[in-house]
Amino acid sequence: MDLKLYLQTNQSLVDKALSALLPGPEEPPQRLNQAIRHSLLGGGKRLRPILILACADAVGTQREQLLAFACGMECLHTYSLIHDDLPAMDDDDLRRGRPTCHKQFDEATAILAGDALLTFAFDLASRPIQGISADTLLMAVRQLAHDAGIFGMVGGQMMDLLAEHRKVDLGELRGIHRLKTGALIRCACECGARLGGGTSDQIETLKNYGAAIGLAFQITDDLLDVTGDSQVMGKATGKDEINAKSTYPSLMGIEGARHLAQEQINLALSHLESFSSAADPLRDLARYITERTH
Amino acid sequence: MDLKLYLQTNQSLVDKALSALLPGPEEPPQRLNQAIRHSLLGGGKRLRPILILACADAVGTQREQLLAFACGMECLHTYSLIHDDLPAMDDDDLRRGRPTCHKQFDEATAILAGDALLTFAFDLASRPIQGISADTLLMAVRQLAHDAGIFGMVGGQMMDLLAEHRKVDLGELRGIHRLKTGALIRCACECGARLGGGTSDQIETLKNYGAAIGLAFQITDDLLDVTGDSQVMGKATGKDEINAKSTYPSLMGIEGARHLAQEQINLALSHLESFSSAADPLRDLARYITERTH
C-alpha cells in the first residue's frame, strides 16, 4: 500500500470533518472560534484520529461513523498543544509552522480556546454512533477522560515540568512519557479497536501496539529536536538542550535512542502478527513513526 | 424544612465524595493532586451538585447513585474558577477565602490543575449508574459538554472578556450571563431531572427553573460585588467598578437589580407549582439564591 496516499486521504477526511463539526469562524464569540480554528485547522499529522480509524479497520468496521469520535481525539491533542505552548508552560512561538495561539491572539484567548477544545472533545466523543451500543461508547468516553487527565496526559505534563532542570534516569523518563505522549496514542488504538467492534483480545493487543508506537513516537520527537530542521517541523528545535532537559538522546546517545525506537517498532509489528492485511495501514504507520521528518 | 441544615448535610455529602473520588494528596504527581485538592476542597457552596441531587429528588430517585456525576459538575465549576483567576484572565489572589491556585502554587500548575479537573469531570460523569440506562447517561454527558463549552460557559467567559472596558446594554449582558454562569446551573437542573428519571415535561420545567435561578444568581453576585463584605465572601469585592465592567447594578441601579433578581425567583417558584413537597428544597434554594451573603 501507498502510505503517503493513505495519510493524505485520511488527513483530508479528518480535516473536512473537523471543519464541519466546529462552529464557523463567524459564529459568536468570533475571537474564540477563530482562535480554535487557527490552532486546529492549521495542519497537523492527525496521527491520533487516523490511529482510531485504522484500528477500527483492522478489526473491521465502517469508518465514517467513527469520524466524530476521532475528531474529538484531535481536539484533545490540539488543546494540549495550545496550553503547553503558553508562556507559563513551554513558552513557544511557533507550532505547525504558524504562530502559536497566544501569539496570534492573546493568552486569555489561548487558555479559553484550549478549554473549549478540551470540552468539545467530549461533546464529539459522546455523540451516538449507529451500530455501537451506548454502553460501549460510554466505556470509550471514560477511557478518553482517564487517559487525557491526571492518570494520563495532564499528569505526564506535570511530571515533565517537575523534571525540568534536573537529571532524570531512563526509568523515570519512560514513566513520564508513557503518560505525557503515550497515554493518548495508546488510548486512540484502544478506542478504535473497541468502537470497531474488536474482541477483548484484539482490543488488548492493539492497546499494546499503541503503547509501543507511542514510545517510539516520543523518542523520535526527541531525536528530531536534535537532528531535525525547524523549517520542516514547523516549530523550534534544539529546545531540549537549551532547557537542559533529559531526553532519550541525552541519556542514551543518538544511536542508542534510534535503536530503542526501532525495538519498539519491531515490538509493535509483532503485536500485529495475528491480524490480516486489514492491519496493513497500522504496519506502515508503525514504520512511519520513526522515519518521519516532522 | 431547615435549609441551613439541608445545605450543610449535602455540602458535607459532596465534600466527602469529592475527597474520596479524587486521587490522594500523596499520589503522583503530588504537586498536581495537591493543587487540585487545594482548589476543590477549600470550601465552596456546592450549589451545582446540590441542584443535581435536589432536582433528582424532586422527580424521585436514590441520591447516592448520582454523587459521582454531581461531583463531576463541581469539578467543572472549580476548573472554571482556577482558570478565571489566572493572571491573563481576572488576575485574582483570593478565592473561597484562600490564595488562588496560581498564587499558592504557580501558573503552570494552576493551568494543569484546571485542565485535570475539567477532564476528571467527564471521567466522573461517564461512570455507569445503577438503574440508569447508558443512553440516558450518555445524553447527560453530552449536555454537560455542550453547556460547559463554546456554546455555554467557555463561550460566555470569552464574551465577558470581550465586553470589558466597553459599555454593553442589558440585552447583551443577559446574553453573556445566560452562558457564563447560567448554562452550568441550568445544566445541573436538567441533568438532575434526567438522571432522576423525570418525564420530558419535568426535565423541561426544571431546566427553566434552573435558567431563572441562574440569572438571579448572577445578579446577586453583581450586587454582592457592590454591597458585600470581602471577608465574608472570601474573595475581592468592588472589582467590577475598578474594571469599569457593565453589571446589573451599574445598568439598572441597586434597587432595579434587586427587583429583577426577585422577579426571576418568583418565576423559578412558579415553575415548581406542579411539583409535590419533594421539590421543597428547590423552593428554598431559589429563595436562598438572592438572600445569600457570599
What is the pLDDT at residue B64?
86
Q: Tell me how far apart the alpha carbons of residues A192 and A139 are, in angstroms, rounded to a whole number.
A: 12
pLDDT tens for B16-53 read 999 999 999 999 999 999 999 999 997 889 999 999 99
Q: Which CATH class is domain B3-291?
A: mainly alpha
| Residue A80 or B229, more confident | A80
For residue range B88-107, list pLDDT tens digits in order. 999 999 988 899 999 999 99
- Give me B1's grid cell: 424544612
- Residue in A with minimal Cα distance to B32: A158
Going from N- to C-terminal start, the domains of chain B cover 3-291
Q: What is the DSSP code (8-state) at residue B196? A: T
Assembly ipTM: 0.96
pLDDT at A110: 98
Q: Write down the pLDDT at residue A77.
A: 97
Kindly determine whether residue B158 and residue A112, on different chains, have CB atoms separated by under 8 Å: yes
What's the pLDDT tens digit per position in A77-126? Answer: 999 999 999 999 999 999 888 999 999 999 999 999 999 999 999 999 99
pLDDT given at position A233: 67
Are the C-beta atoms of residues A32 and A109 closer than 8 Å to each other? yes
C-alpha cell at A128: 451516538
- Nearest Cα neighbor of A218 from A243, A169, A267, A184 is A184
Question: Between residues B237 and A223, which one has the greater pLDDT?
Answer: A223
CB contact under 8 A, B29 and A107: no
What is each CA distance from B57 to B54, B64, B196, B198, in whole angstroms?
5, 11, 7, 10
**Cβ–Cβ below 8 Å for B122 and A106:** no
Counts for chain A of helices (H) and strands (E), in that order: 15, 2
Q: Average pLDDT by consecutive 10-residue portion of chain A (294 residues)? A: 94 97 96 97 92 96 89 98 96 91 97 98 97 96 98 97 89 95 98 96 98 96 84 72 82 94 97 96 94 75
**CB-CB: which of A128, A142, A157 is closest to B123?**
A142
Answer yes or no: do B32 and A158 touch at CB < 8 A. Answer: yes
Q: Which three cell numbers stand for residue B67?
A: 454523587
Which residue is listed with cell 505534563?
A157
CA separation for the pair B22, B78 (Å, rounded): 13
